[in-house]
Each structure stands twice: as C-alpha cells, then as structure tokens.
Amino acid sequence: MAGADLSNGFEGFEGSYLGNRDVLRPGSRLECKICWWVYDPALGDPQWQIAPGTPFADLPAHWRCPNCDCESDQFLLLPAEES
C-alpha cells in the first residue's frame, strides 16, 4: 500500500491489526469495527465461555463478536490505557 506507515507494525487504517495476532500484547483490548463492542481480556467473553484473563490472541479461530457476529480479524486495536 503506497504511503502506508508501517513503523507501528500495522498496514492499513489506524487501529487495524488485520488478523496479525503477533502484534497484540496479552492485555490488548480490541473493538469491533461494526458495533463497537470491546473485547477486554480482563473480562473475557461469557457468551462464548471465554474465561477472564484470556488474551485476544488466544481466542479460538472460530470466535466472533458476541454482539454482531463480526469476524475477529475485523476488530480494531485500542490504545493502551494509562495507569
């Protein structure tokens, strides 16, 4: 992609991880680009029976947004929260 900024490990639009789970940290929070539901590893996903503490990168390949059924590779990486 011409002119894409790859310095942060992403290609494409800002926040997109394009399914490359190698760029995700264990505490990374990601947001569905369709309905804005946020996957927070501290909370897990009760609907899919994903235990709290499960990183996004460790979700099963068939996991989808529990709110709108969006595929996991369409989620956007949220900035790390300041502590």
E runs forming strands in the chain: 30-32, 38-39, 75-77
More confident residue, 6 or 20: 20
pLDDT of 10 higher than 80: no
**12 or 25, greater pLDDT:** 25
Distance of alpha carbon 79 from alpha carbon 70, whole angstroms: 21
pLDDT tier, 18 (very low <50, low <70, confident <90, very high otherwise): confident
Give pTM, 2 decimals: 0.78
- Which strands form 75-77's sheet, in the order they lie side by side? 38-39, 30-32, 75-77
Distance between CA atoms of residues 37 and 67, nearest Å: 7
Specify the fold of 25-77.
Answer: Rubrerythrin, domain 2 (2.20.28)
The string of pLDDT tens digits covering residues 35-51 is 999 999 999 999 999 99
